[in-house]
Amino acid sequence: MRPMTLRDLNVGDPVVRWVAGDLPMLLEVTAVDQTIITCGAWTFDRVTGGEVDEDLGWTALQTGSVIVPGTDTTHPPAIRRMPL
């Protein structure tokens, strides 16, 4: 069985939001479309998992948090940090 990817996510699936790559937060997917995954008040890019927030200037590639499928809060994702 292959690991779940962002493209596999459906409403009700668990994800972990990694804030600044270090702080885990368990969330549930509340909506999905072709480009966006929504978890409550937060929206994430369906390809990169990056949080998209116009108020903060965050895009799919320059962001302060990302989501990964599942519930593992012990292994942060490898994030390439880019200067803002």
Q: What does the pLDDT read at residue 70?
A: 92
- 62 versus 79: the higher-pLDDT residue is 62
Domain ranges of the chain: 6-69
Q: What does the pLDDT read at residue 79?
A: 60
Q: What does the pLDDT read at residue 84?
A: 46
Residues 6 or more apart in contact with residue 36 via CB below 8 angstroms? 43, 44, 45, 46, 52
pLDDT tens-place string over residues 19-64: 987 899 999 999 999 999 999 999 999 999 999 999 999 988 888 8
- 60 versus 17: the higher-pLDDT residue is 17
| 18 sits in which H/E element | strand 14-19
pLDDT at 80 over 80: no
